[in-house]
Structure formats: structure tokens, C-alpha cells
Structure 1
């Protein structure tokens, strides 16, 4: 008997079926226009774009323009690329335009799908961002799909790391811009460190289409993007701590592989204290529990994590003397990304690599909060349904499973579970040989470089020819993937997520044509292509007869999505294929997440060596374990987001305030209000309301006015006057301060004075915001302990961060008032000296530009990314304002110049001293 839910689905269809059904009339409407658009000339397609653009700008609903817009793109793609979009591709485009995630299987043509909603939404003139996981794909897609947009009269741009600022600004100004999630996030942060509106990259956050959306919005969601600047060098500390860790034994720490956490035991703490004292890292009178020991304890903990949780060739590799992180989801190297809080330095010490200095955060944002800035968001991937709840809760995105163009003919077999890893690999080699002998291409998925190289060694010993694709061979990635569908090809690969190149049966015909042309440049390209296509068709036929692509995995990943991505490489566009997972009780997932019961069953069955257990129940049991891990990871990401949301509200206030200041022509009113507030505060402090004259602290008021307003006034005499009160003194202070600023405006000239006010305001906001970020980091790291006192850490964080934010705004008013009170025009001699410094600085910058590119630091509370901006501190321009006591206004003095503070010492021996 059918259950009620099953019966309802049979009668009404699933929610997904109903969404698909609802778009069919729309697709029919687009198809009905095809004949009309085929008759348009090349110019006719461009004219149609202008007609649609005018309607959009006049207020027409984009939904009403969709049929004509999609018909126009389909026709342009046919002419520019020779590709006619299938109905399911139009369907995917419609779902993206509606602000959904379109789940489309590998090989269904997602790159072309994105052109439809991108074109439609670009008609508004606010630009569309198409986001990919790496720069290779961004450049490839921009060039490839740029032909379609060009045929429609639209401009296409592409953003990559290190491109010149003018070119980047022009690329952002295009109708459609292709780039990576990292560059978008970093450019947003850089924009909020700029001082002029015309320097900004991102003018709008209109509509973004995110390719491999699960990788970007789920896998990397724990990874805040951080722009950082260098802190002091503490290499000796890391090296000394690194000598302590190997002396620990298993009783000194507890390792929890489930949560990837490692902590010292009481016995370990005692041992550690003695070791640190022996190495002079801890004072004899000091204990690990003293507040003064916090920093050293933090670094020892990071050293322990580096040794016990981070494995070489799995989490990172050492390349050219540098520790390079590996993305656990894609298996790619992440050059420039660095772990934060001293963890990367601890790994460098462990591996004997040169230790790079730590960084301090100048600006940060999570991908979750960055992508929620967009008015509308859409995404594409082959695997999203397992994370549908998270997409809905965090981003408000629905997930729609788009049907394949042709039915899936792939066979997904039940998992094969062996007792030991040795038995598992033996069975895999046997199966690879069997498939290889009949010419069936094989793709073997592994979870780490180490395992991919170990399998490669086994295949070499067996004399089976193969390719290996992991972080060490990333330069040959496209070539290896293109060859993976050849007759008899065997390819071992770490995670295949986001590779972006289809595995085509019989090999990639485009790559074959390019290779043939390179070998024989004199040949006729048309004849050469025809010959290669004929050869390819013959080879593809043999591969199909052999059973299509055989995907085998050496273990299951923590996430079902990653397993599904690997499976999805086989059976593209209705091709036959086969997939199977080989597991053992020694695999990480099986070992950590409860294999005892299964091991008991295997022992009871009395399995012989080399035998496997194969049953759908095993699959279900494993999927339940994976779902638990996914749920736990979701909770972790939600928790990170809850804390980041608190900071995000403050970030939005600060960033919008900066933009208002940049846009303003005259800030004198804001500056005057700040000055009056400062005067109110000091009057209240030294002449409290409702107090008598003999209770006033006039000496303190006099000193405060000199310090904060730069005015030497006869305040003590004023207090002796008959009948004077706090309101009169307040008015006199305001009048004197206003007259002082009016005089400065005359000395500098009104235009220069407005510019000085703007620069001082922006620099002070940036400086205070940086300090505030650091304070919030420290608060975040300790607030968890409040839970022991039965207080909610999140509420504690909200309350204290709000108080800190208010304090920062108070400090901002004081600092701006104080700096503007002290600013003065430079003397001729000072101007000459400053010009020399600026010339030297320019030479240094040109020299640096000719050498190595600025390093991108990836910071992370988990791996967290960071890109160092060219002058992250935003070195202040010396002219037209200079404040002797404020290093922010000195520009960037050369090391051997006299220090601008007036001490007479060289800069390197004074404020430029390395501490």
C-alpha cells in the first residue's frame, strides 16, 4: 500500500516537477520566436538589444522581456559558436533569472546557460557578474561566451589577480564581467579602503551568477576574505616552539578527529610549562594559567595543531621552499593563501621552510555576507540538492533540479567494502586492469595527493600506463582531463570538483585539432579538423562499445556532494558509464564515524581475505554518516555567520559612511558637528551639569582644550568672571574653534581645506576600523568561555561589540577634531623634503612592480583568505596637510631620511624602527 506522501507525489508531482512544468509554456514561447529571429541580420540582433535595453530602462519588467531576450541570445550563440541551446538549457537560464540554483548534471552546458540570464539582467545597465572558481575558467568563459555577447552588441570583461587598476575598472564597467569569487571579495574590500569615488571598482551589486555555487557558497563559506598588513617578525618564537612539540607523548594531548581539534591534557600542561621555562619562553615565576601567558599558550596550541592535524601532501605541499595550502574540495593548490593566527608560521617551522611574518587584519568579509549584498543571486552546479536547506536558510535561494537533455544511462553500483586498505587497493587494481584490457577509460578518484601517488605506484608496478592529476600537476590539468576519455586511458585524480573541462568519450576533439595544428602548421585547418573529427568519431564508437567512462573512487568524502560530483563525470549527455566506490574499514570516514558495528558484521560473516560486502544497506548507512557530518558542518558555518553578522552590520555602517564622505563636496558641516560634540563632551567632563563653580576642574579643561582643540585660551580667567556658566564657556570655545578653522581655510585655500577634511576623515575612519577589527577578533576568541558562566556567548558578543563600536565612534570624533586642529601648511623646506621622499617612494614602487607581484595572504579561522593591497595602510598624502604628531600624514618616508616627527633622527632609528 502506498504512503500518503508517495500517493500525493504520484498524483500532483514533486515540488520540483511542478516548477519544471510551470516553465514549459515560457520555453514554448521562446521556441515560437526562433523562426522570426533567424531572419534578423547581424545588425538586427544588435538593434534588438538596443530595443530591449530601452524598454528595460523605461521600467519594463524583465520577466516580460525574457522570451525575446532568450530568443535573441539563442540565435547569437548559433551564429557565434555553432551551438543551439536545448530547451533544458533555456529552462536553466529562466531559473537562474528567477534567483534560483539550477542543478544541472555535468556536460549539460552550464557555461552557455549563464549567457541567457546574464544578457537579460545586463539590459538594466547595472552590470552582471559571472563568478567562477578559478581564473582559468573565468578567462576561458569570458573569451568563449564573449563572442555571443559581442554578436548582441554587449561588452564583456574579465578580472584576474594582479591586473592593472585601469584595466580592472574598465572590466567592471562592462555589461557582463567574468571573475572569481576571491577577486570579487577582495575588490569589495579594496573599494572600501579607497579615498575617491572614481577609484572604485564595484559601482553596483546588481546580479551575480555563481558557477559551482556549492563550492563557493558552501565549501568556502567558513573562509573569511582578509586584507592584511605585516605585523612584527617572530620567527625565533615559532622555531623554538617547534622544538617542544616533538617531545610530547600521547598522554600530553587529546586528538578528536571528528571535530578536527587537539587539546592539551592537565599532564600535558604541566610538562609544557617545564619545557617552556627550560627554553626561556616562560618566566620562572609565571604559570601557563596567568593572563600574561595567553600569547605563548596560543602559539603552542597552534604548533600542536600544525603537527597533529595538518598533513603534508594532503592539507598542504612544500613547493620551492614555501608551504602551499591545498583546497580539500577541489584538490587544487592555493598559492598566496595563508592560515591565520600564527598557524601557517607553525607549519613553516615544522617543515623547515622560511617563516613569513604574521599579518594584522585591515579589512575582512565572509563570502556569505559578500554575496548577500547582491540584489539578486543565481547559481549553477551539478550537485546542490543535498545542501538545499542551507541555500534556502542562508541565501534565500531555491534549488531546482533541471532535467537532462538525454536520459542518464550510467550505472551507479553499490559500494564495495573490504576489511583492509590493502585488500581494497588490490581489488581496484584488478578492476582497472580488466577495464583497461577492453579499452574502457577509467577515472580513479582519491582524497589526497599521497593516496593518488600511492595508487600510481601500484599501477606502475603492474605495468598499467596512466596519468595523475593532483596539485603537483595542476599546470597540465586541462590536457590530462581532455585525454581522460581516450580509449584505454587510466587517470588518477584528486577531487574533480570545479575542474571545468568535460571528460569527452574518445578524447576532446578541440584539443586534438590544436595539437595537430601545432605539429603541422602548414596544413589546411578545415581539412585537418575534418580528419581529426573522423578519427575521433571512430575512437568514440569503440569507447562506447567498451562501456563508456568507468569512475571508481578509493573512498567516500565527508560530503555526499563531492562523491556525486565525481560520479557525475561519467554518463554526460546520455553516454553509457559505470561508477563504483571501493571502501575499507581503515578509511578515515569509516574509522571515525562508527565502523565497529560493520566490522562486527563482517567478522560474523567470516569473510575471507579479498572478499567485499556489497549491499544497498551499506550505502544507506554510509549516507547517514555523511549526512551527520554535513549537518555538523552546516551548524559550524551558521555559527560563523551569526558572529560575522554582528560585525557585518557595523561594516555596512562604516562602508556606507565612507562612500557618503567620498561623494560629498563639502564636509565642513560634518566636521563642525564633530567638533561641537567634542566640546560638549569635555565641558560635561570638567564642568559637570548642575555642579557649582567651585566643583569645576578648570585646570583639566584648559589642558583638554589645548590637547583636543589645539587652542591656548584664558579658560582659568573666564572661570573667575562674575556670573559665567558652562553654557557661556561652551559658546566661547565653539567660537574660538570655528575661528581657528576659518583661519586654516584661508591659509590653505578653501578647496585644499575641503580635501584635507576629507582625507583626515577617511584615514581616521580606516585607522579606527582596523583597531576595532583587532579588538573584535580578540573578543571573539575569548567570548566562548562565557558559556561556562551560563551566559550566551553570542549575546555577550553582540552587547560588547556594540559598546566597542560606540566607543570607536566617540574616538573617531576626537581624533578628527584633534588632527584638524593641528594641521598646518608645510614650509618651503618641508615641501622640498617631502617631494624628495615621494620621489624615492615612487622609485621603490616602480622597482617592486618590476619584480615580484604583491603577495596575497590567505588568512583563515578555517583557511582564510587574504590579499595584501598595494598600500594597505593607505599611506597618507603629505600635501596639502601635514600633522607632526600624526604618522598617517607623513606619506612613506625613506628609511634613511630624517624622521618627520622632528626628532632629528633618521626615520629607521625613530618611528621607522623595526620592533
Structure 2
């Protein structure tokens, strides 16, 4: 290794990719630019190939210039090459990730690999597919997009394209539906090849623990309103207690007596287990889930709020019992419930793709998780223009009230100079509380939160206008850049603004650019960086500052034992380094806890994934071949022969296939229900005896998984023996193949306060909280 290589390795960030080879290719491409510009459109299309990467860079750059009116910067081409090499490209906000991703997707497609570009929502999937469409066409690559409302035929056509844009959830739901088809022609997804993930950290880390679920219709699981009324009357501290992490609430002895008196039952008697469960679920819904923080009520329904994005989590719900309890709490009609037919985690979904890459503005903070769980490395792409944003130190206050007063004063001062201000809040309730304070101060503002997130593109696009005040919940994945002076949503980065816009831009730049204010640190420094990165795009002026307090939820939850007894200014401000350390310490503890919970969730789902894989091998053999027919001929030869004589070989083969598919699916749904009960119940037994819950879970789950296929085959043979046939065909009604009358998909927020295995990690906070 030469001296220069050793020096580069020394200064290179740990876990990052060396950019030098990519930069050399881009430099080579620059020497070819004049020649490529002389090509006709047809010659440009004909020359699009990736055997020569420098030539592909030159052709891709020229295609973008002709079709989008934008010449990609060198750093965008470096990002594209990083994606083509299977890395996660970290590119700052406003650096043109969408275009870099499109060029990379085209490169993969020209290699003959089908690409799924995974976004975080329908809006971004459609916008980017249509926006980049002309570029793809000039490069000879077909595109499609999938949204929540897409029909099966539309999905099939979109997935047949070279490059398909779709929300990660829709791809997961299509996978789940395909796993239950009884005719190969009904499947929509092709074999996985390349996953290119937008907002990679949000998708691969924040949503890694949220299972995607396919459910089958059952009766409504309405919660008895008596329980909601009862727990509402219980007094905190006296009748129930909340643990320090706010993940669990339990009845006290006095609370137990009060509930037993009100219901007239012995709450802990074996025959009253259902009552005890209903009371506990109602208590969790009442005490731990808060309206306008964890959910909103819109159009007569409970809508969950995504913690990492601050917006309504479409199609997301809690497990049925808890969902019904929250609906009872809000006096709403119960939503449909059903048994889980199959589920898949985002981590398992992404793991199906042989090639994976992604892009985001904040990858380094989770580089360890991206490497540990996905085998991905980070390529940190430098900005095209140096970032000149001024990031001021946090302003720390003793109380939340002092902090909020100071925030309003800071906003008013910036607004008076014509400087636009973007304020990032933790939840809906805080955004509305701050909006009311601003209104009392006579300051006009626009609020963007889960209650009006459909307007987000237009609101964010105007957040850079002179004097604008925008109050927003979590900014992750908003997908729209904030232009100084304001600008239309979805406009191409790098294009010249209109003259009026230029004038507004100059006024904003002279005032210091966009000022980003955080009303508190998030549970991850990565989310802080996502908010901060909204200012200072493409070398623009800008600034950021975070206001924190020792009463913030982050501090009280993750550093409850840390206290500050030092001096405080008259306005409540604290400048002590030790007090600042407490806030940073709480954030580091929160990040450590989240990582351990991610690992713990992966450990459970890894085993379930292995069992599912074994079943799917069997199911595929049944669906696409004569496996079921041969099995019935072997295990029930007399009945098989009689049915063939009566109805013909083809009819018998089809009946055998349908029967075995049904029982494979039925046994898998039963197995998932068993594993869910086991995972919850195992902790009640293991914790009291000091056992490892995961070991105990595996001790029972592994044998149950080994019985799965034999049980399904035995049930299928029994049903096959009961078949009757005539010249008109086989009567499958006797086999009782009753599939659900309706199915639907959703994301299950797998217990917002942590499932019992997560509550078993109560020692995590103290473990991560020790000073080193």
C-alpha cells in the first residue's frame, strides 16, 4: 500500500467507502463530454450501456441535460457509481439524490437487472417515476410505478418494467398476497433482483421493526366500553403506576381492589383471564397512548402517527385488542379485525434482493446497523458547494415553559428581519401548542403535521419565502427541498428561478437564509441532522439552533436519575457543561436502547423467517408442479385411483393442489398465532425464573416449526380422502376449504410501549446510562 493510500485510509471515516476510484471514472467522463454532446438522440440512446462506466456517466449526464434541463454535478455521478457498486450514498439535502438514483437504476437495468426503487410513500413514488421518465426513455429503459390504489393488472404491468418505483410497504404487501395465490397467473411480483432504497436510513432502520401484515376477515373485535370507562376513573399513582421508560403501566394493589369492586370479580382467578387482559389493554390505551401524540382522530377513525416522520402512518394499526381499546376510549366504532395470515418485516423483505443499495442524507449515524443487518457500507459524497450553514450550540433551559418562551422570542427576532424560519417539533400536540403561542404573539404561521400532511409539498415549498414561519413535525422523508425565496414543489434542483423568485431569494439570503429551530433533541442524532439539513442546501446561507430543557421527554425518560443543581439564569437558561452533558447522554442512551431493541426484534424474526422459507419452498413446489398430486397418489393411493377414474387425472391433480395449498396456508396462520402467544407468554414464565426469553422462545418454537409441514400434509391427506367425484368433476365443498371472505393489508405497530420481550429489557437504560 502506497503512502497516499495509507494516508487516505487514515483520514477516511470508519465504515465509509473510498471514493477515489469513482472520482477517477467521473474525471474520465468529463473528457468525453464534448464528444457525447455531438451525438443525436438516437445515437445517445443506442450508446447507453454500462460496460464502460466513464462512457455511461458521460451519456447519462447528457441525457439528463437534454430531458430534464439539468447537467448532473460530478458529485451526483460519484453518488450514482456508489449506488451501482452496492453501497448507501450519503448525500446532503438538495444535492440531487433523485437524479443520482435514477441514473443508477438505469445502469442496473442496462445490465439486464430489474430494479425496484423503494420510496417511503405513494406521492414520492409517482412523482419521481414521472419526473425521471423522460431520462429513462432516452436511455432506452422502461419505467412504472405502484401506489396504494393500483389494481392487480396495473401492478403486474408496473413490475414488468425495467425500473419500478413503489413504496416499500406496497412491495411488501404484494409479496404477502403473492404468497397466498392458488394460481401462478395471479402473482404480480417478479423474482427480486435489485432494491434501490430512497431515504435508506428511515426505511432500513426506523421501519425495520414494523411488520407488514396480511389479515383475513373475522368478526369485529369490539372492546367493551365498560373497561374504557372504568380505567378512565382510576387515579394515577394510587390505582396504577407507570414504569420509568413509559413502556408499561400496571395496577397497584389499590387499583386491583377498585377494579374488582367495580366489576364484581376476582380479577386474578383463572376463569377471569379474559377480563384481566381486557382491563390491562384498556389501561394501556388510556395511560400510555395520547391523542395528538401517538394518534389523531380523523373522519371518525383512529389514525396512527409515525414517530420518525410525524405524519399519519397510512394503513397502520396496533394489534387488534389494543386498536379496539383505543377506539373504545375515543367512543368510536370498532374497525375490522382479523387473524394474521402472513407477515413480513422490512428487513426480511429487503434481504430477498441479491443486490441492495440506497441513498439518504443521514447514513453515518446508523452505519453500524446498516452493516450489521444488511451488509451495506456508506459512501459519504461531498456536497457540490461547501456547506456554509451556521449551526449554533444548543440553548438549554431548566423548564419546558422557559424554553417555549425563548423559542417564540427567537422566531419573532428572525421574522422581524424577513428571515424565514422552520421549526421542527416532536409531535402534533407540541406543534399546535407552539402555533397558539405564536398566534398570541401576533405572528402568522403555517402548521404542517399529521392533521394536514396532504398539503406538505406546497407548505414545505413555500417555507423559504421571506418572513415565512413554518411549524412542522418530524421532517424525515418529506421529499421536497426548501428553496430560498420559495419555489414550486417538485421543481428540478439546480434550475434557474424566475426573476421574481430570484429577487425574493436575494432578500432571504441577505437576511441570513433559512433558520431551522429544533424545539428539542430527538431520540436519535440522525433525526436532528435531518431537520438541520433543511437549511444550507447547495451552498445557500442558513442556520440552525436547538432549544432543549431538562424537562424534555428525552431527558426524563432516558436519563431519569441525572439531576442538575447548579446555577440558572433569570430567564431559565443554563450554560453549565454538566447540564448539557445530561441532554447528550440521554440521547446516546436512547440510541443504544433502540439499537438493542432492533437486534432483539431481529433475533425473533430470524427464526420465523427460516421457518417461513421452508414452508414457501414446499408451497412453490405445490403451486407450480405436480407435487401435491404425487403426494396424494403415494399417501392415499386407493382414493386417488378412484377419483382419477371418476373425474380424470387433471381434475384430481388440481383438487390435490388446492387442498394442500389451503392446509399449508392454514397451518402457517395457526403457527403465527401460536408464536405470537408464545412470545408474549414466555416472558411471564422466564422473567420470574431468571431465564433468557429468547432461549425459552426457541425451545418451543423450533419443535413447533418442525411439526408444521407434516401437520399440513396429514390434514391435506385426510381432506383428500373425504373427496367425492362424478363425471361432472370433484366436489371440493366436502374438503371445507374456507378461505377468508376478505383480506386486507396493514402495518402493525408491534406494541408502542414495547412488547413484553422489550419490557424485559428494563435494565437497558441503566446499562447504557452508566458513565464510562
Larger mean CA deviation between 807-816 and 379-388 belongs to 807-816
Larger mean CA deviation between 117-126 and 568-577 belongs to 117-126
8 Å contact 1:99–1:377 — kept in the other structure?
Answer: yes
Task: Please give the secondary structure, in 2, of the residue aligned with 1:333.
Answer: coil
Larger mean CA deviation between 780-789 and 557-566 belongs to 780-789
Task: Please give the secondary structure, in 2, of the residue aligned with 1:471.
Answer: coil
Partner residue in 2 for 1:540? 505
Is 1:760 the counterpart of 2:641 in the alignment?
no
Is 1:783 the counterpart of 2:678 in the alignment?
no
Distance in 2 (CA, whole Å) between partners of 1:571 and 1:289 is 63
Partner residue in 2 for 1:561? 526
Partner residue in 2 for 1:73? 60
- 1:596–1:760: structure 2 CA closer, same or farther, 3 Å change rule? closer
Task: Please give the secondary structure, in 2, of the residue aligned with 1:369.
Answer: helix
8 Å contact 1:27–1:91 — kept in the other structure?
Answer: yes
Distance in 2 (CA, whole Å) between partners of 1:507 and 1:767 is 55
Q: Deviations over 1:329-379 (max 9, x none)?
A: 111112432100411111111111112243211101111111111101111
Partner residue in 2 for 1:478? 457
Is 1:862 the counterpart of 2:743 in the alignment?
no
- 1:751–1:672: structure 2 CA closer, same or farther, 3 Å change rule? closer
Distance in 1 (CA, whole Å) between partners of 2:246 and 2:588 is 15
Distance in 1 (CA, whole Å) between partners of 2:573 and 2:370 is 37
Measured after TM superposition, the shift of residue 511 of structure 1 is 7.6
Structure 2 gaps, min length 5? 1-5, 754-772
Measured after TM superposition, the shift of residue 106 of structure 1 is 0.6
Measured after TM superposition, the shift of residue 296 of structure 1 is 2.7
8 Å contact 1:509–1:533 — kept in the other structure?
Answer: no
Partner residue in 1 for 2:408? 429
Distance in 2 (CA, whole Å) between partners of 1:810 and 1:14 is 52
Partner residue in 2 for 1:89? 76
Distance in 2 (CA, whole Å) between partners of 1:856 and 1:372 is 21
- 1:128–1:497: structure 2 CA closer, same or farther, 3 Å change rule? same
8 Å contact 2:363–2:378 — kept in the other structure?
Answer: yes
Measured after TM superposition, the shift of residue 386 of structure 1 is 1.5
Is 1:671 the counterpart of 2:658 in the alignment?
no
8 Å contact 1:444–1:553 — kept in the other structure?
Answer: yes
Is 1:591 the counterpart of 2:556 in the alignment?
yes
Partner residue in 2 for 1:905? none
8 Å contact 1:69–1:116 — kept in the other structure?
Answer: no
Distance in 2 (CA, whole Å) between partners of 1:501 and 1:593 is 32
Larger mean CA deviation between 331-340 and 248-257 belongs to 248-257
Partner residue in 1 for 2:121? 134
Measured after TM superposition, the shift of residue 8 of structure 1 is 7.4
Distance in 1 (CA, whole Å) between partners of 2:435 and 2:613 is 51
Distance in 1 (CA, whole Å) between partners of 2:747 and 2:490 is 34
Distance in 2 (CA, whole Å) between partners of 1:471 and 1:111 is 25
Distance in 1 (CA, whole Å) between partners of 2:10 and 2:478 is 40
Partner residue in 2 for 1:244? 230
8 Å contact 2:212–2:746 — kept in the other structure?
Answer: no
Distance in 1 (CA, whole Å) between partners of 2:16 and 2:668 is 49
Is 1:800 the counterpart of 2:700 in the alignment?
yes
Task: Please give the secondary structure, in 1, of the residue aligned with 2:352.
Answer: coil
Hey, which of these two has a bigger chunk of helix by percent? Answer: 1
Partner residue in 2 for 1:118? 105
Measured after TM superposition, the shift of residue 663 of structure 1 is 1.8
Task: Please give the secondary structure, in 2, of the residue aligned with 1:825.
Answer: strand
Partner residue in 2 for 1:392? 371
Distance in 1 (CA, whole Å) between partners of 2:119 and 2:547 is 31
Task: Please give the secondary structure, in 2, of the residue aligned with 1:443.
Answer: strand
Partner residue in 2 for 1:912? none
Partner residue in 2 for 1:353? 332
- 1:615–1:116: structure 2 CA closer, same or farther, 3 Å change rule? farther
Partner residue in 2 for 1:264? 251
Distance in 2 (CA, whole Å) between partners of 1:14 and 1:111 is 25
8 Å contact 1:222–1:862 — kept in the other structure?
Answer: no
8 Å contact 1:122–1:128 — kept in the other structure?
Answer: yes
Q: Deviations over 1:808-862 (max 9, x none)?
A: 222212211112222223687999x99xxxxxx9xxx9xx9xxxxx864432323
With normalisation by structure 1, the TM-score equals 0.77
8 Å contact 1:66–1:120 — kept in the other structure?
Answer: no
Task: Please give the secondary structure, in 1, of the residue aligned with 2:202.
Answer: helix
- 1:385–1:616: structure 2 CA closer, same or farther, 3 Å change rule? farther
Q: Deviations over 1:429-477 (max 9, x none)?
A: 2221211111111101111111111111121122212111111111211
Partner residue in 2 for 1:370? 349
Task: Please give the secondary structure, in 2, of the residue aligned with 1:178.
Answer: strand
With normalisation by structure 2, the TM-score equals 0.90
Distance in 2 (CA, whole Å) between partners of 1:464 and 1:606 is 29
Partner residue in 1 for 2:761? none
Partner residue in 1 for 2:180? 193
8 Å contact 1:336–1:855 — kept in the other structure?
Answer: no
Partner residue in 2 for 1:37? 36
Query: Match for 1:572 among 522, 534, 537?
Result: 537
Partner residue in 1 for 2:321? 342
Query: Match for 1:218 among 189, 200, 205?
Result: 205
Measured after TM superposition, the shift of residue 267 of structure 1 is 3.9
Task: Please give the secondary structure, in 2, of the residue aligned with 1:392.
Answer: helix
Measured after TM superposition, the shift of residue 263 of structure 1 is 2.2
Query: Match for 2:715 among 770, 795, 815?
Result: 815
Task: Please give the secondary structure, in 2, of the residue aligned with 1:273.
Answer: helix
Partner residue in 2 for 1:203? 190
Measured after TM superposition, the shift of residue 619 of structure 1 is 4.9
Distance in 2 (CA, whole Å) between partners of 1:388 and 1:35 is 39
- 1:121–1:10: structure 2 CA closer, same or farther, 3 Å change rule? closer
Distance in 1 (CA, whole Å) between partners of 2:123 and 2:336 is 30
Q: Deviations over 1:73-99 (max 9, x none)?
A: 222111110111111111111222222
8 Å contact 1:414–1:619 — kept in the other structure?
Answer: no
Measured after TM superposition, the shift of residue 497 of structure 1 is 0.8
Larger Rg: 1
Distance in 2 (CA, whole Å) between partners of 1:10 and 1:512 is 39
Distance in 1 (CA, whole Å) between partners of 2:638 and 2:558 is 74
Q: Deviations over 1:614-649 (max 9, x none)?
A: 467655542232111111011111111101111100
8 Å contact 2:562–2:582 — kept in the other structure?
Answer: no
Task: Please give the secondary structure, in 1, of the residue aligned with 2:161.
Answer: coil
Partner residue in 1 for 2:168? 181
Q: Deviations over 1:22-59 (max 9, x none)?
A: 4322222332333333232211232224xx3xxxxxxx
Task: Please give the secondary structure, in 1, of the residue aligned with 2:749.
Answer: coil
- 1:764–1:488: structure 2 CA closer, same or farther, 3 Å change rule? same
Measured after TM superposition, the shift of residue 242 of structure 1 is 0.9
8 Å contact 2:16–2:378 — kept in the other structure?
Answer: no
8 Å contact 1:73–1:115 — kept in the other structure?
Answer: no
8 Å contact 1:191–1:202 — kept in the other structure?
Answer: yes
Structure 1 gaps, min length 5? 1-6, 53-61, 514-528, 676-736, 835-840, 849-853, 865-915
Q: Deviations over 1:89-115 (max 9, x none)?
A: 111112222222111111111101111
Question: Equivalences for 1:281-296 in 2 at 5 Å?
Answer: 282=265, 287-290=267-270, 292-296=271-275
Question: Equivalences for 1:651-690 in 2 at 5 Å?
Answer: 651-665=612-626, 667-673=628-634, 675=635
Distance in 1 (CA, whole Å) between partners of 2:269 and 2:393 is 53
- 1:289–1:24: structure 2 CA closer, same or farther, 3 Å change rule? farther
Distance in 2 (CA, whole Å) between partners of 1:70 and 1:647 is 43
Distance in 2 (CA, whole Å) between partners of 1:293 and 1:412 is 58
Is 1:228 the counterpart of 2:228 in the alignment?
no
Question: Equivalences for 1:333-732 in 2 at 5 Å?
Answer: 333-509=312-488, 533-594=498-559, 599-601=564-566, 605-608=567-570, 610-614=571-575, 619-665=580-626, 667-673=628-634, 675=635
